[in-house]
Structure 1
């Protein structure tokens, strides 16, 4: 059965905190079928009203959707025109639900009040990027690979303006991962273009490694010997 791919959008809301760049993360209701209990950025499906604002341009419809979802899920209103597209992800083949998801970044005022609905979203926190990555690696901030990769990309910046300027100059990766079960562990890895196993799912073959995998409950991004660009600039 062919699973339809739904357009969706999310936005990484940024602010300058007392200790540097912070971003807003929200936790989805554990009862939700998709990403229940995971920490994410505000977002959701693109709807007809979003498309109507931009003459059916899919990138622009996604921009309006991200701003609208930020308002609906967190009570925060970023300026759509000032948001920067940082990546685009398509859910791997084989998943029961598939999305074509644009990820934007946008700055909001340091004192912007966050209001969550208590239904789909149960918790929120403004958090420094390094702190978020540390908590995830300690098993305290469960998330999906695109969220983890986005945090790694944001870790390069000190301020919100730096992040937006930097991402305007960074090529936007458009990613279709290959989902591969990890035998005997009940887990999975996601392979990206350039990985030796991207075409056939053979993770053990000798060759370039471009993938994300779980290690001790947290994601790790591996980029080794790959001719394709990384998902975020490497040191």
Structure 2
């Protein structure tokens, strides 16, 4: 299944008493995308987001590839969706590029999603009641623990992002780390033959389908997420 559009996700950060905290939002349990999951603010990039970024909207379902155009529109969409879902106002240029996620071919809805980091701009979270039912500011470690305990449902990009954010002690270090590093693309591939586990692999894993094109991974290399129930394990060497 081909990609059907572009989306944006904003990882909002603040410094808490226990360290770096992120804002997670709970989706309704029975309807909508990621039903029942705790996610970062975000949503699909609309045609007006391209116009606000100074570009013509893409032609057709996805339009010709233009990463710079899509990234600029995604920043606008990320700020817009954050305001709509939480009431928090962010200038699009305050978003720091973090990563890009492409779902597995088996996914029912394939949107190329840009992830951004942003510092909490201040103010109270006011949820959009039609889209969200709860929110929480948590350290990445606390959110991951809740997932393991079955108290919080996460999706793979959220889980991996939280895992990687554990290396940052505060907002300043997280933003600096993202600003100095490349915007990494996670083009997900669902591996077969691991049932009852579900295993998603990315570049650098020896079983990644395009590994031969990217060069032979080192011995013992891993870049995958292994999922069994709420027991998930992200490996990256």
What TM-score does the superposition give when structure 1 sets the normalisation length?
0.85
SS at match of 2:150: coil
Asked if 1:194 corresponds to 2:233, the answer is no
How many Å apart are 1:139 and its aligned residue?
A: 2.2
> CA separation in 1, counterparts of 2:231 and 2:125?
27
Asked if 1:29 corresponds to 2:42, the answer is no
Kept after mapping to 2: 8 A contact 1:75/1:115? yes
> CA separation in 2, counterparts of 1:198 and 1:95?
17
SS at match of 1:98: coil
How many Å apart are 1:48 and its aligned residue?
A: 1.3
Corresponding residue for residue 40 of structure 2:
41
Asked if 1:90 corresponds to 2:89, the answer is no
> CA separation in 1, counterparts of 2:235 and 2:91?
34
> CA separation in 1, counterparts of 2:75 and 2:184?
16
> CA separation in 1, counterparts of 2:181 and 2:164?
10
Segment of structure 1 superposing worse, 155-164 or 43-52: 155-164
Asked if 1:213 corresponds to 2:223, the answer is no
Aligned counterpart for 2:117 among listed residues 77, 90, 105: 105
Kept after mapping to 2: 8 A contact 1:88/1:172? yes
Report how many aligned residue pairs link the two structures: 217
How many Å apart are 1:178 and its aligned residue?
A: 0.4
How many Å apart are 1:41 and its aligned residue?
A: 0.1
What pairs up with 1:97-176 in 2 under 5 angstroms? 97-109=109-121, 111-176=122-187
Aligned counterpart for 2:88 among listed residues 68, 76, 92: 76
Kept after mapping to 2: 8 A contact 1:79/1:106? no
SS at match of 1:81: helix
SS at match of 2:190: strand
How many Å apart are 1:82 and its aligned residue?
A: 1.8
SS at match of 1:157: coil
What TM-score does the superposition give when structure 2 sets the normalisation length?
0.84
Is there any run of 5+ residues in structure 2 with no aligned partner, and where? 56-68, 212-218
**Cα RMSD after superposing both structures:** 2.1
| Cα distance change of structure 1 residues 106 and 96 upon mapping to structure 2, 3 Å threshold | same
SS at match of 1:166: helix
| Cα distance change of structure 1 residues 130 and 4 upon mapping to structure 2, 3 Å threshold | closer
Deviation sequence 1:95-137 (CA, Å, 0-9, x none)? 111010000010124x521111222211111112221122122
How many Å apart are 1:141 and its aligned residue?
A: 1.7
How many Å apart are 1:163 and its aligned residue?
A: 1.1
